[in-house]
Amino acid sequence: MLAVIDLVESAAVIVLAVLFLALLGNRLENRPLARGVAIGLAFGAVGIVTMFSPVELAPGFRVDARNVVVAMAVAVGGPVAGAITAVATSLTRAYFGGAGAVPGTVSIWLVAIFSTLLWLWQNHSRQRLSPAVVAGYAAIAAAVPLISVHFLTPTASPDLARAILTYIMPTNFFGTLFAGALILGEMQRRWAVSALKESQAQLQTIANNAPGVLFQLTLGRSGYGRFKYVSGSSRRILGVEPDELTGNPEAILSMMSAEDVDTVNQLLQETARTGEPWSIEAQFQRSDGRHLWMLASAEPRTDSDGRLVWDGSLFDISERRQSEQMKTEFISTVSHELRTPLTSIRGSLGLISSGAAGVLPAKAERLIAIAHSNSERLVRLINDILDIEKIESGRMVFDIRPHELAPVIAQAIEASRSYMVERQVTIEFDDAAPGAVAAVDPDRVNQVMLNLLSNAIKHAPQASTVSVDLLRTQAGVRLSVRDRGPGIPLEFRDRIFGRFEQADSTDARSKGGTGLGLSIVKAIVGRLGGTVGFETELGAGTVFHVDLPEIRSEPAGLNPFAGGDEADVAPRVLICEDEPDIAQLIAMTLADEGLQSDIALDVDTARAMLAKTAYTAMTLDIRLAGESGLALMREVRKTEAGAHLPVIIVSAHLDDAKTSLNGSALGVVDWIEKPVEADRLKAVLANLRKGTFARAPSVLHVEDDEDVLDVVATALGPDLDVTPARTAREARRLLATRHYDIVILDLDLPDGAGQNLLESVPSKAAVVIFSAYDIEQQLAARVRAAMTKTRSSELAIAELVRTLVLPATGE
């Protein structure tokens, strides 16, 4: 019972030492001597206090917690603390005297010495205080009293030795464990606090020196975001103190445009609902007036208080934006400065090769063919490099709409026949999916085909055949291009669609190319919602497959007013009119003129009839059952059969029709306003049948490069009246004084942008943009056609112009 009371009293006193350690904390951590002295004095005082409430086992032999205190003093304060505690407790033991004074004093110093040895080992091995080490100190405190009594008092009674074994040793051992556990808990708490502070300091230092501003956002009462935390890097990057941003929500708002502020708050509201991360690029204005482009991104989460917060960052991307701008300007310069002269070179060589300059000697003809072939190769190289840049930057424009695939494929095949003619490769096209329609951009499909065909021709054996197949599959429609070449090496197949990738063989290198073509094909097909793959066999050839979703729709039912059957050979006119009475009136008028007719009351019916029957002409209302007849006309003009189809506009809104058809009205032989006068319609039909609308087609070519003017004029031929205009001012003067059927327009003129001339072009004139710059979709929608220099040859321009003027000439 006395042992328990002694243990409890000693433990209560030792708690004072633990409290002292908690108060001391890390204050003297960097001053080990002062720390040892402070701990030694504190533990010495605790040891003295414990010695005033001992348990006496025998006359002169006292039992208390002095050895526990000495061992713990060394454990937490080192040798200095242990020595001070030992001095204090040994002097106190000498003061009490008795038979056990000498062994008790020796015991105190032996505990101090052995504990110091354990402390030295602990520090040498860089070990912190741990339960195992505490057990070591406990063993020392428990064993030393027995040793000292055994050697210093050999005449001690057996009862004293038994008491030491059964009472002193367990008391010291468990007392040290208890004290060590308390001290260890306090030290671990201090270590954890210190580690947390160190971690926070490290994170704060990293955040303050990060290349971006780290922040945490919450939603304020007004619903707008406000900063909960901002890293110190805001001082360096934004020129604003973190406290100002967290304390004043207006501080960040004043640096951004109102539009960007609204966008950010919309993103916060949306991501609060979806839990998805967000990002935005916005321009900031520093207090010193400097503008920065910043990339802001954040991800929402719920914090420990259940509030929604966004952890995010702000990175200065001004240099990146500047680099992108410089890159864009460089690409623009390359586009103009290389494409314009190449247009002249390729066009001139092409015209000479086609015999426009007369018959050449065989040797000269061979040299011209070589030069023309290599100019085509250089054109493809430049176009591939410019295309891959647009794909990477996301600036490649797509005009996706339902389109029949076979005509696009046929056009690409025709354009590819001039590629590497010296190889004498034949291209065969098998259309096993007649009428197949897909949602595509015809220009991009043409680009895909040109790349696949040039790749096939390049690898095909001399005088072999490249096969192009179009067929239907369960998933849609498949376009295949097959060569009979050497096949793709096994080690190269995984990289076939990579950028700048070519098979590393001498034969492949000798064929030239950038290694960009198939990468461009994959990117374009992916944007069209399709997939591209290949099959290859060494020594037997390779076939590339392009799979696209097919648009399959049943034609609308034919109108009961439709007359005749498909076998009729008499001239037939399609009447596109959604008012049955007016449609019947027009049909009767046509019958009086000996013309048969079909009636389409809506756009779908008109499409079906146009696809089924070859018509002599078409009457068109600009509004058909809520749909646009003008859109139908533009769609018809893009087809091979409809490109030459004369159109008579019949509408109650002629002014709207003429304005809307600006740049697309060529081929409209007359405009008739509702209500329709039969005599007027008959006169138009009579003139149409007699060809009295025929007139000399006139072309205004607005271009500042003399070589391009000469080459295009030569390609157009002498039967077209071509007028050059080298500046925007000259073009405006000519347009104001004379009518032109076609306006060929360059966008880069010495005195301004060519697109500004569109307002001066009459509605009945078709505009064809022919420029070194790639034309944006919004601009292309305003004109009849848009072609890029080096992508379209001068012969293609001439063919387009002749197609446009053909209905007007009555050919």
Whether 391 contacts 523, CB under 8 Å: yes
What is the C-alpha separation between 590 and 38, in angstroms, rounded?
A: 119
Bridge partners, residue 573, by sequence: 597, 617
Domain with CATH 3.30.565.10 in the chain: 397-548
What is the C-alpha separation between 704 and 299, in angstroms, rounded?
A: 53
Which pair of structure tokens corresponds to residue 532?
A: 């591209």
Answer yes or no: is pLDDT of 563 > 50.
Answer: no
Structure letter (DSSP) for residue 761? S
Highest mean pLDDT among 52-56, 593-597, 666-670: 593-597
Whether 590 contacts 597, CB under 8 Å: yes
Whether 574 contacts 615, CB under 8 Å: yes
- Average pLDDT in the chain: 78
Answer yes or no: is pLDDT of 729 > 80.
Answer: yes
Percent of the residues in the chain that have a pLDDT greater than 70, as a whole number: 77
Answer yes or no: is pLDDT of 244 > 90.
Answer: no
Write down the pTM of the prediction.
0.44
339 or 510, greater pLDDT: 339
The pLDDT score that the predictor gives to residue 344 is 76
Confidence of residue 542 (pLDDT cuts 50, 70, 90): very high
What is the C-alpha separation between 139 and 211, in angstroms, rounded?
A: 55
What is the C-alpha separation between 803 and 808, in angstroms, rounded?
A: 10
Query: 31-45, 187-201, 475-489: which range is least confident on average?
Result: 187-201
Domain with CATH 3.40.50.2300 in the chain: 572-690, 698-809
What is the C-alpha separation between 80 and 663, in angstroms, rounded?
A: 100
What is the C-alpha separation between 330 and 348, in angstroms, rounded?
A: 27
Highest mean pLDDT among 143-147, 151-155, 336-340, 558-562: 143-147
17 or 201, greater pLDDT: 201
The pLDDT score that the predictor gives to residue 545 is 93
Specify the fold of 698-809.
Answer: Rossmann fold (3.40.50)
What value does the mean pLDDT take over residues 698-706?
89
The pLDDT score that the predictor gives to residue 808 is 43
In which element (H, E) is residue 269 found? helix 258-274
CA contacts within 13 A on the Cβ side of 65: 35
The pLDDT score that the predictor gives to residue 659 is 53
Whether 7 contacts 171, CB under 8 Å: yes
In angstroms, how far is CA 575 from the centroid of its own chain? 49
**Cα dist from 39 to 28, 46, 70, 73, 728, whole Å:** 10, 10, 11, 7, 94
Which pair of structure tokens corresponds to residue 561?
A: 């007013």
Q: pLDDT by residue (tens digit) across 63-106?
A: 777 888 888 888 888 898 889 988 988 898 888 877 667 888 88
The pLDDT score that the predictor gives to residue 336 is 65
Highest mean pLDDT among 47-56, 115-124, 559-568: 115-124
In which element (H, E) is residue 518 found? helix 517-527
Answer yes or no: is pLDDT of 547 > 90.
Answer: yes
Q: Which amino acid is at 3?
A: A
DSSP for 333-347 reads HHHHHHHHHHHHHHH
The pLDDT score that the predictor gives to residue 71 is 87
Percent of the residues in the chain that have a pLDDT greater than 90, as a whole number: 8
CA contacts within 13 A on the Cβ side of 707: 12
In which element (H, E) is residue 252 found? helix 250-253
Which pair of structure tokens corresponds to residue 83?
A: 């020595």
Question: What size, in residues, is the chain?
Answer: 811
The pLDDT score that the predictor gives to residue 481 is 93
* CATH code reported for the domain at 2-198: 1.10.1760.20
What value does the mean pLDDT take over residues 433-462?
87
CATH of 211-316, one of 3.40.50.300, 3.40.50.150, 3.30.499.10, 3.30.450.20: 3.30.450.20
Class for domain 397-548, per CATH? alpha beta
The pLDDT score that the predictor gives to residue 615 is 84
Report the helix count and the strand count for the chain, using DSSP H and E.
26, 28
Which pair of structure tokens corresponds to residue 405?
A: 């695939």
Answer yes or no: is pLDDT of 727 > 70.
Answer: yes
Q: pLDDT by residue (tens digit) across 643-683?
A: 667 888 887 666 556 555 544 455 576 677 666 666 667 77
Answer yes or no: is pLDDT of 776 > 60.
Answer: yes
Answer yes or no: is pLDDT of 428 > 50.
Answer: yes
In which element (H, E) is residue 671 found? strand 668-673
Determine what percent of the chain falls in helix, strand and coil, rounding each to the nearest 5.
55, 20, 30
52 or 437, greater pLDDT: 437
Domain with CATH 1.10.1760.20 in the chain: 2-198
Which pair of structure tokens corresponds to residue 448?
A: 């895909």
Judged by DSSP in three states, 109 sits in helix
- Detail the DSSP E strand segments found in 362-462: 401-404, 426-431, 437-440
Class for domain 572-690, per CATH? alpha beta
Domain with CATH 3.30.450.20 in the chain: 211-316
The pLDDT score that the predictor gives to residue 700 is 92
Answer yes or no: is pLDDT of 744 > 80.
Answer: yes
